[in-house]
């Protein structure tokens, strides 16, 4: 199906979006920086001495990465913004839990994630607004 999984596709363009929706070209550079921060924070935790907190932080790091990776296929591929909203809310919780746990292992790793938490809050608000502004026929 043409445009599936594509923010420039017809389905996404037909959605009513909030005024604070950034242009599509913003997302690539932002996510490049954020994924670099996520990787570096995970690396710092992985390099920390073995402990229960380190193991918990690594598990949460993996969980948030899986949830992050699921969002795009849910929103764009399956065209299920409501389910994607549930995913991003779970992602918020996992990333916040990772940050709190990481702070007990390596404070700089937790600090590196702060912009990611901010962006996730923004992304959650954006997803929620798209769900609120569009009829169920478009969102299935």
pLDDT the model gives residue 139: 66
Using one digit for the tens of pLDDT, what is the confidence trace for 25-65? Answer: 999 999 999 999 999 999 999 999 999 999 999 999 999 99
- Beta carbons of 117 and 110 less than 8 angstroms apart: no
Instruction: Say how far apart CA 133 and CA 138 lie, in whole Å.
Output: 11
* Exposure b/e, 101-120, CB count within 10 A at least 16 = b: bbbebbeebbebbeebeebb
Residue 126 has pLDDT above 60, yes or no: yes
Instruction: Say how far apart CA 109 and CA 128 lie, in whole Å.
Output: 29
Instruction: Say how far apart CA 72 and CA 57 lie, in whole Å.
Output: 24
Domains of the chain: 27-139 (1.20.1260.100)
Threshold 0.85, pTM exceeds: yes
């Amino acid at each position: 199906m043409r445009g599936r999984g594509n923010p420039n596709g017809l389905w996404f363009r037909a959605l009513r979006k909030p005024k604070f929706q950034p242009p599509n070209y913003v997302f690539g550079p932002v996510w490049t920086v954020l994924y670099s921060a996520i990787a570096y924070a995970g690396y710092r935790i992985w390099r920390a001495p073995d402990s229960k907190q380190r193991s918990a932080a690594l598990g949460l790091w993996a969980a948030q990465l899986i949830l992050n990776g699921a969002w795009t296929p849910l929103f764009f591929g399956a065209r299920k913004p409501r389910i994607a909203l549930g995913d991003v809310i779970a992602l918020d919780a996992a990333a916040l839990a990772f940050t709190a746990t990481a702070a007990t292992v390596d404070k700089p790793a937790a600090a590196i994630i702060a912009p990611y938490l901010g962006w996730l809050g923004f992304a959650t608000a954006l997803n929620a607004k798209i769900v609120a502004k569009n009829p169920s026929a478009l969102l299935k």
